[in-house]
């Protein structure tokens, strides 16, 4: 099971007056990762360097990329990628933005600084597992809505949409392993009246 970031994160460290801003995001493809890197470069156009690293996939199917972005060869991108690989995360992109502080850090200092920036942003990121899921739709009468929301919370169902008309029409995403229990719970609280309809399958990130 692939462990991924649940959401974006950012951290900043200062090393001998140089600022290192580490930005992290979940990404699902190489194209998405490259677009994220480009977005950070647009956000910090005046930075001295924007050093990227990303990992797409996991296990035996992995794509990796890193770049020194003008720093001395091997002092930034590779150390950052090594920190990413050590985190156990997949589908993750990190960009470390550097604003030069006027003092040279040397090869060892750069390796340490970029590694520390990567570890700083990883330490604060929430993790999730990619799991097979079902999208289901159903309607419940208003007097059962609160109990339905409680059942959703108990089973990890995530609301995609809620339409309030004569009844409340809901569309939810739920892990495939939890779908049977969720459907049984709906049947129990509605005396068999509410039966969800599966609209499709997908993969979702479930917090761990």
Whether residues 120 and 136 fall in one domain: no
Residues 104 and 15 in one domain: yes
Confidence of residue 165 (pLDDT cuts 50, 70, 90): very high
Query: How far apart, in whole angstroms, are the C-alpha atoms of residue 113 and residue 119?
Result: 10
Residues 87-96 have a mean pLDDT of 96
Note down the domain range covering 164.
129-207
The C-alpha atoms of residue 66 and residue 54 are separated, in whole angstroms, by 7
pTM (2 d.p.):
0.81
CA distance 98 to 47: 6
Distance separating alpha carbons of residues 7 and 199, to the nearest angstrom: 26
- Written as six digits, the tokens of 136 are 């289901």
Q: How many Cβ atoms from other residues are within 10 Å of residue 132's Cβ?
A: 13
Residues 72, 137: one domain? no
Q: Which of 125, 149, 171 is the last residue of a domain?
A: 125
The pLDDT, as a whole number, for residue 70 is: 96
Structure tokens at 111: 């390796």
Whether residue 88 is found in the same domain as residue 150: no
Residues 20-59 pLDDT 10s: 999 999 999 999 999 999 999 999 999 999 999 999 997 7
Are 43 and 146 in the same domain?
Answer: no
**CATH classification of the domain holding 42:** 3.30.230.30
In 10 A of CB 62, how many CB atoms?
11
| Cβ contacts of 204 within 8 Å, gap of 6 or more | 130, 131, 133, 158, 173, 175
pLDDT band at 207 (very low <50, low <70, confident <90, very high): confident
| Residue 129, SS3 per DSSP | strand
Mean pLDDT on 168-192: 96
How much is the mean pLDDT over the chain?
A: 95
Mean local confidence (pLDDT), 142-165:
96
Same domain, 144 and 115: no
> Are 112 and 155 members of one domain?
no
Contact (CB, 8 A) for 94 and 86: no
């Amino acid at each position: 099971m692939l462990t991924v970031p649940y959401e974006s994160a950012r951290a900043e460290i200062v090393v001998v007056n140089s600022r290192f801003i580490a930005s992290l995001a979940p990404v699902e493809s190489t194209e998405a990762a490259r677009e994220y890197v480009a977005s950070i470069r647009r956000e910090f156009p005046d930075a001295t360097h924007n050093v990227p690293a990303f990992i797409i996939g996991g296990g035996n199917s992995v794509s990796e990329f890193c770049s020194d972005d003008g720093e001395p060869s091997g002092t930034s991108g590779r150390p950052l990628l090594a920190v990413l690989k050590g985190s156990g995360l997949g589908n993750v992109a990190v960009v470390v933005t550097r604003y030069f502080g006027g003092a040279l850090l040397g090869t060892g200092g750069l390796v340490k600084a970029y590694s520390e920036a990567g570890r700083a942003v990883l330490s604060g990121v929430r993790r999730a597992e990619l799991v097979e899921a079902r999208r289901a739709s159903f309607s419940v009468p208003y007097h059962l809505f609160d109990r339905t929301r409680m059942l959703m919370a108990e089973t990890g169902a995530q609301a995609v949409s809620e339409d309030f008309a004569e009844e409340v029409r809901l569309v939810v995403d739920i892990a495939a392993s939890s779908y049977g229990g969720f459907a049984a719970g709906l049947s129990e609280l509605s005396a068999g009246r509410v039966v969800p309809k599966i609209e499709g399958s997908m993969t979702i990130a479930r917090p761990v």
